[in-house]
Amino acid sequence: MVRIGYTMMTEQAGPRELVGHVVRAEEVGFDFSVTSDHYFPWLRAQGHSPYAWSVLGAAAQATSRIPLMTYVTCPTFRYHPAVVAQKAATVQLLSEGRFRLGLGSGENLNEHVVGGGWPSVDVRHEMLQEAVEIIRALFEGGHVNHRGTHFDVESARLWDVPDSPPPIGIAVSGERSCKLAGEHADLLIATEPKQGLLESFDRHGGSGKPRVGQLPVSYDPDRDTAIKRAHAQFRWFGSGWKVNSELPHPDSFEAATQFVTPDDVAESIPCGDDPDAFVAAVRPYAEAGFTEIALVQIGGETQPAFLDWSEKTLLPALREALGGS
């Protein structure tokens, strides 16, 4: 059973629109939803970046069934982990237990805004591990004092604690992050259908835990239009995490992707309205062992049409091919 999810991508739509989109995603039958947590869009053409946690609070009230999840929050720079714990506990209460807290080591693009520089990936992983330990301690409901390598917590306590704390997911891209996720996460998060990531996760304690993937798609009845839009807004996607985590500004992504062509994008992102092409793009995630796959429809203004098409065509095709719910 593969669950198919919907992405509220904060980089490409305003806050009210995002809430409306996830309401419709619930109506058409998506199994879960995720939201990005950015300060900047990847490229200027995307044009948005509202505060994800306000959007989540509104979405929790506007929906009744669809699960919510950050994909992902960095709990180490813009946000102190004690504040992330409070936000996550509150959204879990507002959503009546439908929230999962997806965490990652962050991108320079979003975290540079508070100053302090951008450390090496090893340091970022150390910070993430310490942050997860703090968040879990606060979820238990008692007072927490912590003197750590990277964070201090002074007699903190969450006064509104859900009966069931939000499950914690950790984003992975290599062996070190897989080890961190296997040892400290309730689920794995990844944006590439690499079976080796899941195998490493299992070796480090992740066996039997959910694993959530994500895939950009560009629906449009006119395939050329879909390709053009994907190139304008998503040509950064294929650069790989080692590049994407380091660049500090949308203009940096513009420069880094200036030689990426529309044909390059069309080779890696399904474009158009042929459901078989979308199924073929999703299938490697299912075959690698992902239990959940969140789709990102490119283009904020295209969400209503994509959601209508998903209800009538895409979701039935995916579930027939992959055995979804």
| Active-site annotation, residues | 38, 107
Angstrom CA distances, 47 to 76, 88, 96, 300, stand at: 25, 26, 32, 9
Exposed (0-12), middle (13-18) or buried (19+): which is 316, by Cβ within 10 Å? middle
Is residue 175 within 8 A of residue 185, CB to CB? The reply is no
Host H or E run for residue 188:
strand 187-190
For 79-115, letters b (16+ CB in 10 Å) and e give bbbbebbbbbbbbbbbbeebbbbbbbbbbbbbbbeee
CA nearest 90: which of 142, 165, 153?
A: 165
Nearest to 46 by CA among 191, 211, 229, 303: 229
CB atoms within 10 A of CB 277: 15
User: For residues 44 and 80, what is the distance between their CA atoms, to the nearest angstrom?
Assistant: 28
Query: Is residue 198 within 8 Å of 211, Cβ to Cβ?
Result: yes
Residue 267 neighbours by CB under 8 Å, 6+ apart: none
CA torsion sign, 304 to 293 to 99 to 128?
negative
